[in-house]
Amino acid sequence: MLSLKQIDYALAVAKNLHFKKAADECFISPSTLSNAISDLEAQLEVKIFERSNKKVIVTELGKKILVKARNIKLEVKSIHELAQHNSSGLIHSLSIGIIPTISPYFLPIILPKIKKEFQNLKLKIEEGQSQMLINKVKEGDLDMAILALPYDLEHLISFKFWEEDFFWVSHRLNKNAGKAEIKASELEQSELMLLEDGHCLKDHILDACNISSSTQYTLKASSLNTLIQLVKGEMGTTLVPKMALKELIGNKDKLSISHLNEPGPHREIVLITRPNFAGMESIGMLINFFNRSLKEFNNI
């Protein structure tokens, strides 16, 4: 009879298409994983994977079996979620993903408060880009994730708890520095520096400014902090979300900040999860907590 461990191992191989990487992900030896997969295939009397020294291929029948296996994994996870969640509050464990353009600014606000308000909560946090987090939530590797919209959630459901606009950051010697408000048409696109491809914040900025995604920029970076340092060095200008301003700008002795005067909100912050997630009560408690914490922070 097939086991849940065999299902986990088979799904890991399917995800990585590599036995060594799958074994590392499952914290077992390659030989243990290989034997478990061989036993599974022997029990089912079908080949799920074609193996060679160079690659692993999922067979056509194997793909159908793995769809069922993934559903079994999610249903078992749902049983555990039902057992853990109750009306007395967040006294269980939760795994939450969060994108890197939110995590450095959001986590310092909520983590000290969450320890006080939900003392028994065991929280696992994983940072990653939007698509990776969506895949992990769909597959049951994460309970939920914090993302910025608009973004294709692929049939996951979302709960909005915050919205915000973008602010243009320039060196104080820039010709447009000092303005309280600035229109996208006033920005010098040749000076605009954005995050590299893969960050949804870049797409949100382009959308808010009505700028084509094919436009070439002077520089792209992997973090907002890097962009701000480049602005201080008079390398160009950038746009950042309101949530990040206090952490990024500091005393702003060399910088000027202007609100992007375009229809908003420029992005929405949401908590996403699976439609059949058993802890919907926890979702409600978390989004209320997040919203309250951000309001308090913005009133400081």
Q: Which structure tokens are listed for 19?
A: 């036995």
Question: pLDDT of 249-278, one tens digit each?
Answer: 876 678 999 999 999 899 999 999 998 887
Q: Give the least confident one: 50-59, 203-212, 222-231.
A: 50-59
CA distance 149 to 268: 5
List phi, psi (to 5°) of 170.
-135, 165
> CA separation (Å) from 66 to 22, 107, 131, 282?
15, 36, 21, 30
Among 55-64, 123-132, 179-188, the range scoring the smallest mean pLDDT is 55-64
Q: What are the DSSP calls for 109-167, one per residue?
A: HHHHHHHHHSTT-EEEEEE--HHHHHHHHHHTS-SEEEEEES---TT-EEEEEEEE-EE
Question: Average model confidence (pLDDT) for the chain?
Answer: 87
Query: What is the arithmetic mean of pLDDT over 54-67?
Result: 87
Q: What is the token pair recorded at 63?
A: 């793909």
Tell me which DSSP letter residue 56 carries. Answer: E
Distance CA 21, CA 15 (A): 10
Instruction: Set out the domains of the chain in order of their start, with CATH numbers.
Output: 4-83 (1.10.10.10), 85-163+267-298 (3.40.190.10), 166-260 (3.40.190.10)
Q: Indicate the SS3 state at residue 31.
A: helix
Measured CA distances, 223 to 107, 217, 226, 274 (Å): 16, 16, 5, 29
Q: Is 144 exposed, middle or buried (0-12, 13-18, 19+ CB in 10 A)?
A: buried
Q: Is the peptide bond before 150 cis (omega within 30 degrees of 0)?
A: yes
What would the pLDDT profile of 79-137 be if each residue is shown by its tens digit? 766 666 554 555 477 899 999 999 999 999 999 988 888 877 888 999 999 999 999 99
Cα 287 from Cα 106, distance rounded (Å): 13
What pTM was computed for the model?
Answer: 0.73
pLDDT for residue 217: 56
Alpha helices in the chain (DSSP H): 4-16, 19-26, 30-44, 60-84, 103-117, 130-139, 200-209, 224-232, 245-249, 280-298
Per-residue pLDDT at 87: 47
DSSP letter (8 states) at residue 196: P
